[in-house]
């Protein structure tokens, strides 16, 4: 592929994920985006709950029962001149570690905020993760068809709680029963809300000029108040600055109703204009440019048994440079091995398709037969290791015990693979033969028990264990480290990747140890 063609293709890519608190409308807005991307003909057909296209795997019968989405897939669609890659994230907070890692694979994010609730707890957490890489953020304030809080107050809250400047691009014309549409502060255009068009691409009804007769007719007695409000908003809010947005300091704000499919198109139009194309990525060795001719990619997620007809695992890779073509030979950098990839897949609205061609910014899936781990890098020959794909310290711990002690080997194998996939983390204490599993959410334990039984034929039970958290430990001074290891022996363990971890029984114990051993680094995340 020629350099200029590659550059052109890469420039068209918009790879992003949606961050929000549960119920803010992520699933609904995803569906409308797929509608505009012509991946579906009619909304209502890919609902994440109930009638469920996500629940294609049988171990996920569990998710269906619970009405949560455990899966995380990738949807690619063309919109205007762009090719949009939307990476879905698990809705349930128990799988937030997966969400964090999906955020390492995107170039930007869309934050959805419920207009009646404002900034909620999970959004705050996810924004913190975005901030690690200064990810540019679009904001969509949703559910304007309901009674909302004062939009000025909402923007104030976003600015103070999330520490990001807000630049409203549109402003809502009323809310709830009186919701009339949105007004573009830059083009002086009113976009008129039409009810009952939620399931299709709505008509695009516009009025030019806030002071026009048509606008007056639409707004009625409210017209003067609205004009005053706009004056106020213009004076008091930040003007949109593309560089500040790209640096993650400012977010353009849009308003609408995902359910009513209104305001989403307006947001998407500006999204494909402003959101960044793939950007350079850091490796341990050097910065990799997306338009470099040689292929490179890293694994950010491994998913098992998405489709009961293919009982296998898929490793999701984010391409960081070059292009993929069928049958190409790649180097698996961690193993230093060459592999020929003839059957990579892409995910068009959840359907598997053979990937024939993909470029920087795109996501492809490799079949994984147990040799691929999260964080692995694949290249066309150069030995590289992408950075910034962390494991996060688990917050919950259990001792795992076999019902049949003869199956220790299977259990170890199962746990090893599940931890490499990032489904759970495993710790082996130094002082005994226990196996400790660590998770961010309780449901992860259930999924792991289910999969151990289903895939590895081992029945196990969990027991409570007195561990508060996990910290990966290291020290530049080998002598001090040896001393520390002796003293901390009781609470030290090796994790699934062979890294030394300190498992403090209490928060107080952790603070004391950090104080006593200032030369030892206690890290809450670890990289590959």
Q: CB 33 → ligand G4P: shortest distance, Å? A: 12
Could you say which DSSP state residue 262 is in?
B
Binding to ligand G4P, residues 37-66 (CB under 6 A): 48-49
Facing residues of 296 across strands? Answer: 321, 379
Q: CB 390 → ligand G4P: shortest distance, Å? A: 25
Could you say which DSSP state residue 59 is in?
T
Is the Cβ–Cβ distance between 300 and 373 less than 8 Å? Answer: no
Asked if 143 interacts with ligand G4P (CB under 6 A), we say yes
Asked if 436 interacts with ligand G4P (CB under 6 A), we say no
* CA separation for the pair 17, 162 (Å, rounded): 18
| The one among 15, 28, 135, 491 contacting ligand G4P by CB under 6 A | 28
| CB nearer to ligand G4P: pick between 253 and 415 | 253
Binding to ligand G4P, residues 476-495 (CB under 6 A): none
| The one among 53, 146, 480, 523 contacting ligand G4P by CB under 6 A | 146
> In a 10 Å sphere around its CB, with 0-12 CB exposed, 13-18 middle and 19+ buried, how is residue 123 labelled?
buried
Query: What is the DSSP code string of 431-451?
Result: SS---EEEESSHHHHHHHHHH
Enumerate the known binding-site residues: 20-27, 88-92, 142-145
| Window contacting ligand G4P (CB under 6 A); options: 99-107, 141-149, 183-191, 520-528 | 141-149
| The one among 135, 257, 303, 469 contacting ligand G4P by CB under 6 A | 257
| CB nearer to ligand G4P: pick between 140 and 324 | 140
Strand ranges, E, within 115-217: 137-142, 165-168, 170-173, 181-184, 189-192, 206-208
Could you say which DSSP state residue 310 is in?
B
* CA separation for the pair 215, 203 (Å, rounded): 18
Q: Which residue reads 């204490």 in tokens?
A: 429
* CA separation for the pair 472, 120 (Å, rounded): 30
Neighbours of 199 (CB within 10 A): 17
Enumerate the known binding-site residues for GTP: 20-27, 88-92, 142-145
| Window contacting ligand G4P (CB under 6 A); options: 17-25, 78-86, 213-221, 354-362 | 17-25
- Judged by CB under 6 A, the number of residues near ligand G4P is 19
Binding to ligand G4P, residues 65-124 (CB under 6 A): 91
* CA separation for the pair 291, 159 (Å, rounded): 35
| The one among 24, 75, 154, 333 contacting ligand G4P by CB under 6 A | 24
| CB nearer to ligand G4P: pick between 20 and 71 | 20
| Window contacting ligand G4P (CB under 6 A); options: 93-101, 258-266, 321-329, 397-405 | 258-266
Asked if 145 interacts with ligand G4P (CB under 6 A), we say yes
Q: CB 113 → ligand G4P: shortest distance, Å? A: 11
Strand ranges, E, within 286-356: 287-288, 296-304, 313-321, 323-325, 328-332, 337-341, 345-348, 351-354
Binding site for ligand G4P (CB under 6 A): 20, 22-28, 48-49, 91, 142-143, 145-146, 257-260
């Amino acid at each position: 592929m020629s350099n200029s063609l590659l550059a052109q293709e890469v420039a068209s890519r918009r790879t992003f994920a949606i961050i929000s608190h549960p119920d803010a409308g992520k699933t609904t807005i995803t569906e409308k985006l797929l509608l505009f991307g012509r991946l579906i003909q009619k909304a209502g057909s890919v609902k994440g709950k109930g009638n469920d296209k996500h629940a294609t795997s049988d171990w996920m019968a569990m998710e269906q029962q619970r009405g949560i989405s455990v899966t995380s897939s990738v949807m690619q669609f063309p919109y205007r001149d762009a090719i949009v890659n939307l990476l879905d994230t698990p809705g349930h907070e128990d799988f937030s570690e997966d969400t964090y890692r999906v955020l390492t694979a995107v170039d930007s994010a869309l934050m959805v905020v419920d207009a009646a609730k404002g900034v909620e707890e999970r959004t705050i957490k996810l924004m913190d993760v975005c901030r690690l890489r200064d990810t540019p953020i679009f904001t969509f304030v949703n559910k304007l068809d309901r009674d909302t809080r004062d939009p000025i107050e909402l923007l104030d809250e976003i600015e103070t709680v999330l520490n990001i400047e807000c630049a409203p691009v549109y402003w809502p014309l009323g809310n709830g029963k009186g919701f009339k549409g949105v007004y573009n502060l830059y083009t002086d255009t009113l976009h008129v809300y039409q009810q009952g068009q939620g399931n299709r691409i709505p008509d695009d009804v516009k009025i030019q000029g806030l002071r026009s007769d048509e606008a007056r007719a639409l707004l009625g007695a409210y017209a003067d108040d609205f004009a005053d409000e706009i004056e106020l908003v213009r004076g008091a809010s930040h003007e949109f600055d593309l560089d500040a947005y790209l640096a993650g300091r400012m977010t353009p704000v849009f308003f609408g109703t995902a359910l009513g499919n209104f305001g989403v198109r307006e947001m998407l139009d500006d999204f494909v204009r402003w959101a960044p194309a793939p950007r350079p990525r850091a490796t341990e060795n050097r910065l990799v440019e997306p338009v470099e001719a040689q292929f490179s990619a890293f694994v950010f997620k491994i998913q098992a048994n998405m489709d009961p007809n293919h009982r296998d695992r898929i490793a999701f890779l984010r391409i960081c440079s070059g292009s993929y073509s069928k049958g190409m030979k790649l180097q698996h950098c961690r193993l230093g091995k060459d592999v020929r990839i003839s059957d990579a897949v892409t995910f068009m609205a959840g359907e598997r398709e053979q990937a024939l061609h993909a470029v920087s910014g795109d996501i492809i899936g490799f079949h994984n037969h147990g040799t691929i781990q999260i964080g692995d890098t694949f290249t066309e020959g150069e030995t590289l290791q992408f950075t910034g794909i962390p494991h996060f310290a688990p917050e919950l711990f259990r001792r795992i015990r076999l019902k049949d002690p003869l199956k220790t080997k299977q259990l170890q194998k199962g746990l090893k693979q599940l931890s490499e996939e990032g489904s759970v983390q495993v710790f082996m204490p130094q002082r005994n033969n226990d196996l400790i599993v660590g998770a961010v959410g309780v449901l992860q334990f259930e999924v792991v028990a289910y999969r151990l039984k289903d895939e590895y034929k081992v029945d196990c039970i969990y027991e409570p264990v007195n561990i508060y958290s996990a910290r990966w430990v290291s020290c530049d001074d080998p002598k001090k480290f040896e001393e520390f290891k002796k003293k901390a022996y009781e609470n030290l363990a090796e994790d699934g990747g062979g890294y030394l971890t300190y498992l403090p029984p209490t928060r107080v114990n952790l603070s004391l140890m950090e104080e006593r051993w200032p030369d030892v680094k206690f890290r809450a995340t670890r990289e590959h």
